A and B are shown apart, each in its own frame.
Chain A
Amino acid sequence: MRLEETLLFAGLAVILRLFVVGRVRLWGLLAVSTLALYWFQPLNLVRYLDFWLPTFTLFLISVSWFLITPPNRRNEKINLFTALFLVVTMVLIAATRYIGVQGLITASRPPPILPVVLAITVVGGGYFILCRQKRLPTWSSSIAIFFLLVLFVVIKYPLLADYIGNWLRLASGQTAKAGTHIDIRWLGFSYIAFRLIHTLRDHQNGRMAEVNFREYIIYVIFFPSLAAGPIERVERFLKGLRNPENSVPTDFAIGGKRIAVGLFKKFVIADSLSLFALNSTNVTQVKSVEWSWVMVYAYALLIYFDFSGYTDIAIGLGRLMGINLPENFNKPYVKSNLTQFWNNWHITLTQWFRAYFFNPLTRKLSRSAAFSSPVSIILITQVATMILIGLWHGISVSFVIWGLWHGLGLFLNNRWSEWTRPYMKNLESQPWFFNLAGLAGIFLTFNYVALGWVWFVLPDPDVAFGFLMHLLGIG
């Protein structure tokens, strides 16, 4: 979100809160979020993709909602109206093609209206056929989750993305020669997929709250948290959506302050740090060891201020509309060990992985006869979770190593805590020791995380390893 976009959407949020109230409030939120889905979608080199990707997002959301909703609730009036609202919105956005203003809502000119209407008719027909089924097989949600994961892999794995990009270029009548994996830039897909998987899994486990189509769409594409989270749990989101907890002036005061802080973090601090933070170009140019450390620290701070600044803006915008989004960062760089760091860095992402991967895997391994030792279970679960988080950023060796770096770090931290626990008890009467140990812990944790970012920011593992050696004065 650029600065002017943030201000524009903050203004829209204020208007929504003040003037779009009562029964029309949720329609207003749905309209703005749907428009934002198309508006924020970046330009793709594949023709019309910046229209089709948000449209496909809405399709995925519709299917997901269909799967989690009992058959007798699907045809309720509110849901049919929401479907109609979506169809009209899509057609209207496609119709901007004929206004003559380039990129009024979408990044480039939308496709002709005929294929859009055709696609809607096909999807609507499919929906009608599905509605005739009284009950869908239980594995249908699993298929949907699998499909989302496949999409994830396609987008995050450059080779596959290249292939799909080329195929899409050919399909749209373009030459495939210039195609690259960055052809498919799908705004917020990671976060949309997390929310969809969360609801599908909760539905499978019988924990899913009842939610109508309109609320579900707003939950998945709520515009402040669309591009980079936080990843809200649906039941918590619905509470604020249905009934804002605080008065308008309170939300405006707190939301406005969060937006101001976020803007400062993102557009002043992070943008300044980006001028000298480590990246794949300057890594080959740097000569001095001392300044290399400065560049690594700058990157560590850059990624924090950029991301937490964005989260502040998202939380602030949500607050303007009366919705409390969860916190994503809680001073992660001043935590005294790696476990605490991960409990306070991208909190909603780690909670998601804990709920849907780490805990189920731990339970499964604990029940398995092959893993009798709790230590090995800790090692496997922590390393596997962190590698998965690494792969979420992109399917590459560098991200695997970054995940491994943190997985092993968490395991060592766990073992160290266990080992020192008895000694620590004996030292409880020495507060100075705890303070000192805390400071040393912060120093070590920050540096461990900062060095880990080297794997994260440099796509070539050989270059990253060479640079780490350079930082240590070796080679």
Chain B
Amino acid sequence: MYTWRFLGRVVLKAAALFVLFNAAFAAGDLPSVLSQISGYNYIFPGRSRFPFGENQQKAYNLSLNNLNAMFASHEFLDKRNGDSEYRVILLGDSSVWGTLLTPDQTLSGQLNEMRLRYCDGREMRFYNLGYPTLSLTKDVMILAEAMKYKPDMVIWLVTLESFVRQNQVESPLVANNLDRVRELSHRFQLEIDTPLILTESNFIDRTIIGRRRDLADLIRLQLFGVMWAATGIDQEYPETYSPAQRDLESDEGYYDLRPSEISTDGLAFDVISAGFKIVKDLPVVLVNEPMLISNGKNSDIRYNFYYPRWAYDGYRKILDDYSRENYLNYYDAWNLISIDEFTNSAIHLTPKGTAQFAQKLKEILADFSCP
């Protein structure tokens, strides 16, 4: 038999413990510790690309914005790989991550299939660190974290969209990791949307209640490890999809940019420069990624859904100039792939298109001599 007094004590103690746990959670840095505890590379094989997925039930995957957890789930952190391999990381957007492609069909998957050897005899192992959203800041954030795990080379795939200033913090991965962006911004004097990165999280946001979604995502990521191990599936493969637009709008505008703003100042060249400072002496291959060049309606004024011709041509020229001035290993692959080898976007390639691109990269890598 219980009494009202007993019930009152239970409610009071529960409320006190609730407040205490939340306060302790907010005061400490438990989430960053928790995010590094992972069954991947131990119980489950490491993922061959970062977790990303919109339909969890079909993709057995989810989008989470915890970079530590994303890295902890990646095969790049598999300690068993050791020193016997030459570790090449690929940075970029969804075209590198491999939308609609199985892990084997992605650029890194196809390069690995080629079993390339570095000049010192080590096998070259390509790691897919691409992530679907177009932002150089996102790439640099990933690169800064990746440097902790000692890559030997970086292949960085870019396109004009990832240079646009207003895209820099629009990527959810960036918007949810403002501490990291703030740190990069201070370190390299980046021109990033200042009011946004100055916003500090409040106390409630740091409690268990405030971070319940992040905590649930961490658990879900681990649970999806079973499905990753069992099926090797990490995205939804629809039976049909809408192909990338061929007939285009007669719109010559590109954001609100004027031709004069397609320049190293108007675009996020400071961010790309920060990336090169982060990697220091590591070899980097900068690639302007292939895109669909439309032959449909209004293709005389636009290349594709993303780009009016004037903006893209301007961008190519300044990227080329910038690379030459800074002695970068730069390759412009913009028109490498034929129109038939694009899938649901002007930058997403079919497996065959990806294979052609991988073949080209193989040739470029062959030119690298031992230091």
Residues in B with CB closer than 8 Å to A249 are: 2-4, 6-7
How far is A288 from B229 in the complex, measured between Cα atoms in Å? 8
Residues in B with CB closer than 8 Å to A121 are: none
How far is A252 from B7 in the complex, measured between Cα atoms in Å? 8
Interface contact A292-B230, CB-CB below 8 Å: yes
The listed residue (B1, B10, B230, B232) touching A250 by CB distance below 8 A is B1
Residues in B with CB closer than 8 Å to A367 are: none
Q: Smallest Cβ distance from A365 to chain B, in angstroms?
A: 46
How far is A469 from B2 in the complex, measured between Cα atoms in Å? 54
How far is A252 from B4 in the complex, measured between Cα atoms in Å? 9
B226 at the interface (CB under 8 A from A): yes
Of B216-224, B276-284, B285-293, B348-356, the one with at least 4 CB within 8 A of chain A:
B216-224
Residues 259-302 of A, flagged 1 when their CB comes within 8 A of B and 0 if not, give: 00000000000001001100001100111100110110010000
Q: From residue 99 to 141 of chain A, which have CB atoms closer than 8 A to chain B? A: none
How far is A285 from B227 in the complex, measured between Cα atoms in Å? 9
The listed residue (B219, B226, B232) touching A276 by CB distance below 8 A is B226
The secondary-structure label for the interface of chain A is: helix
Residues in B with CB closer than 8 Å to A170 are: none
Residues 1-15 of B, flagged 1 when their CB comes within 8 A of A and 0 if not, give: 111101100100000
How far is A191 from B339 in the complex, measured between Cα atoms in Å? 60
B231 at the interface (CB under 8 A from A): yes
How far is A254 from B10 in the complex, measured between Cα atoms in Å? 12
Interface contact A275-B230, CB-CB below 8 Å: no
How far is A280 from B230 in the complex, measured between Cα atoms in Å? 15
Residues in B with CB closer than 8 Å to A246 are: 1
Residues in B with CB closer than 8 Å to A281 are: 58
> Number of residue pairs across A and B with beta carbons under 8 Å?
57
How far is A285 from B10 in the complex, measured between Cα atoms in Å? 48
Residues in A with CB closer than 8 Å to B219 are: 272
A429 at the interface (CB under 8 A from B): no
* Given A282-B231, A286-B230, A275 and B224 contact (CB-CB distance below 8 Å): yes
Residues in A with CB closer than 8 Å to B4 are: 249
How far is A223 from B267 in the complex, measured between Cα atoms in Å? 62
A7 at the interface (CB under 8 A from B): no
Interface contact B227-A282, CB-CB below 8 Å: yes
How far is A254 from B7 in the complex, measured between Cα atoms in Å? 10
Interface contact A291-B226, CB-CB below 8 Å: yes
Q: Smallest Cβ distance from B134 to chain A, in angstroms?
A: 30
Interface contact A285-B231, CB-CB below 8 Å: yes
A430 at the interface (CB under 8 A from B): no
Residues 330-363 of B, flagged 1 when their CB comes within 8 A of A and 0 if not, give: 0000000000000000000000000000000000
* Given A249-B4, A249-B7, A294 and B231 contact (CB-CB distance below 8 Å): no
Interface contact A291-B230, CB-CB below 8 Å: yes
Interface contact A276-B230, CB-CB below 8 Å: yes
A72 at the interface (CB under 8 A from B): no
Interface contact B226-A295, CB-CB below 8 Å: yes
Interface contact B7-A286, CB-CB below 8 Å: no
Nearest to A250 among chain B residues (CB) is B2
Q: Smallest Cβ distance from A246 to chain B, in angstroms?
A: 8
How far is A298 from B7 in the complex, measured between Cα atoms in Å? 36
B197 at the interface (CB under 8 A from A): no
B23 at the interface (CB under 8 A from A): no
Residues 44-62 of B, flagged 1 when their CB comes within 8 A of A and 0 if not, give: 0000000000001010100
B233 at the interface (CB under 8 A from A): yes
Interface contact A291-B229, CB-CB below 8 Å: yes
How far is A276 from B7 in the complex, measured between Cα atoms in Å? 39
The listed residue (B2, B3, B10, B220) touching A275 by CB distance below 8 A is B220
Residues in A with CB closer than 8 Å to B56 are: 275
Residues in A with CB closer than 8 Å to B231 are: 282, 285-287
Residues in A with CB closer than 8 Å to B230 are: 276, 282, 285-288, 291-292, 294-295
How far is A281 from B58 in the complex, measured between Cα atoms in Å? 9
Nearest to B219 among chain A residues (CB) is A272
Nearest to B232 among chain A residues (CB) is A287
Q: From residue 220 to 262 of chain B, which have CB atoms closer than 8 A to chain A? A: 220, 223-224, 226-227, 229-233
Q: Footprint of B on A, CB under 8 Å? A: 246-247, 249-250, 252-254, 272, 275-276, 281-282, 285-288, 291-292, 294-295, 298
What are 8 A-B interface contacts by the 8 Å CB criterion?
A: A249-B6, A253-B2, A253-B6, A253-B10, A275-B220, A282-B230, A282-B231, A291-B230
Lowest 5 CB-CB distances: which A-B pairs, in order? A291-B230, A276-B226, A285-B231, A253-B2, A275-B223
* Apart from A249-B6, A282-B60, 14 more pairs, CB < 8 Å: A246-B1, A252-B2, A275-B60, A275-B226, A276-B60, A276-B223, A276-B224, A276-B230, A287-B232, A291-B226, A291-B229, A294-B230, A295-B226, A298-B226
